[in-house]
Structure 1
Amino acid sequence: MRRMSDQPARWTQATVYPDMWADPADDLRNNEDSPDGELATLLDFLKNYRITLRMKCEGLDPEQLARRSVPPSTMSLLGLVRHLAEVERDWRNWITEGDPLPKLYGVKDADFHGAVAEQAVVDAAYADLEREQAATDAALAGHPNLGARVGKDKVAIRELMVHRIDEYARHCGHADLLRECVDGRVGQ
């Protein structure tokens, strides 16, 4: 168990704005052009939250990525990467009439329980996330009408897109706190 004196000092790499994660020139989320239209806006927000999650994880070793900060929680940065791969896969189940895709990691919370400090697990988690994001993006590209209702439950594409943004945003908030506990790095 950690003692208060074991907590890392807070720090940031930003030099322009001290409450930022990175300087504006180094921030991949900075976009000079505002997206045009509802779908483009939704996709831009999703892209930026995906980048934020990766930024919060970059530079950490497998032990740091797998570290659980608040017992008895099973949440870790690596667990979040695995969880988001799992939910990307599940969102495809929302738009199909067919049988659901099997879970990537097994029973409930296996995405977090299996987030162990091994490089092979880290590499597989990132590969899973990239693959599942690409597959969900491709499946949704076939439904450009945000008002279209799809799947067994006739969910609107707009609702699914907003839910995706919500999921990433919520977990990026978790990632902020997890990263600060790991090495003290802070920023938006």
Structure 2
Amino acid sequence: MSERPERWTQASVYPDMWADPGDDPRDSEGTAPDGELATLKEYLRNYRLTLRMKCEGLDAAQLARRSVPPSTMSLLGLVRHLAEVERGWRAWISDGEPEPRLYGARDADFDGAVPDPAVVEAAWRDLEREQAVTDAALARHPDLGTRLGARGIAVRELLVHRVEEYARHCGHADLLRECVDGRVGQ
């Protein structure tokens, strides 16, 4: 990457933000949810929205760009990785055999993130499906202290880990997006 994009934002009220508060789909202005489970779900929802926001408006080539060499990370790779991780987390709470990997061998989620619109569409479908299946599996266990799977992972632990994983990768997405087109965000 030889060209350095100029920093920019769509926000007009707070120029250091991704979006003006009124345009931000993440609900951060209202009353916080009641209870631990509702709070964890809200944080997870907001980080999932943040990832989508960081990818909005980019074409397949921009999503697949590995903009922080020597890393193989790209925004598309992050989408694919999170789909793979959602699937893998179900193995933590299951007593059965893990489902096969979505993209093959280790790091295939990043390595296979190529600038093809069909690959982008498939990645978003995979992520939405895997999120929904993992959400449904965890919804069967509303007691956060319930221990599941061969390792006895508490539902709470898995939910916190999900929030942590998305938060970590949203940080990566901030930097990747800024390198792609200069867009900055909160």
With normalisation by structure 1, the TM-score equals 0.97
Q: Say if 1:82 and 1:128, in contact at 8 Å, map to a contact too.
A: yes
Sequence identity percentage? 74
The whole-number CA distance in structure 2 between the counterparts of 1:11 and 1:63 is 20
The residue that corresponds to 2:17 in the other structure is 20
CA shift for structure 1 position 72: 2.1
CA shift for structure 1 position 33: 2.5
Letter in 2 for 1:174: H
Over the aligned positions, Cα root-mean-square deviation in angstroms equals: 0.7
The whole-number CA distance in structure 2 between the counterparts of 1:93 and 1:47 is 22
CA shift for structure 1 position 51: 0.1
Gaps of 5+ in 2: none
The whole-number CA distance in structure 2 between the counterparts of 1:101 and 1:162 is 22
The whole-number CA distance in structure 1 between the counterparts of 2:137 and 2:31 is 26
Write out per-residue CA displacement over residues 102-125 of structure 1, whole angstroms, 9 at most, x where no aligned residue: 100000000000000000000000
The whole-number CA distance in structure 1 between the counterparts of 2:160 and 2:40 is 7
The residue that corresponds to 1:69 in the other structure is 67
Q: Say if 2:94 and 2:150, in contact at 8 Å, map to a contact too.
A: yes
Aligned length: 185
Q: Say if 2:68 and 2:179, in contact at 8 Å, map to a contact too.
A: no
The residue that corresponds to 1:46 in the other structure is 44
The residue that corresponds to 1:139 in the other structure is 137
Give the match's secondary structure for 1:43. Answer: helix
Letter in 2 for 1:134: A
Greater shift, 103-112 or 64-73, is seen at 64-73
CA shift for structure 1 position 71: 2.0
Write out per-residue CA displacement over residues 127-176 of structure 1, whole angstroms, 9 at most, x where no aligned residue: 00000000000000001110110001000111100000000000000000
With normalisation by structure 2, the TM-score equals 0.98
User: Which aligned segments of 4 or more residues in structure 1 are displaced greater than 2 angstroms?
Assistant: none
Give the match's secondary structure for 2:162. Answer: helix
The whole-number CA distance in structure 1 between the counterparts of 2:69 and 2:13 is 35
CA shift for structure 1 position 19: 1.2
The residue that corresponds to 1:8 in the other structure is 5
Q: Say if 2:8 and 2:184, in contact at 8 Å, map to a contact too.
A: yes
Letter in 1 for 2:34: D
Letter in 2 for 1:29: R
The whole-number CA distance in structure 1 between the counterparts of 2:7 and 2:68 is 18
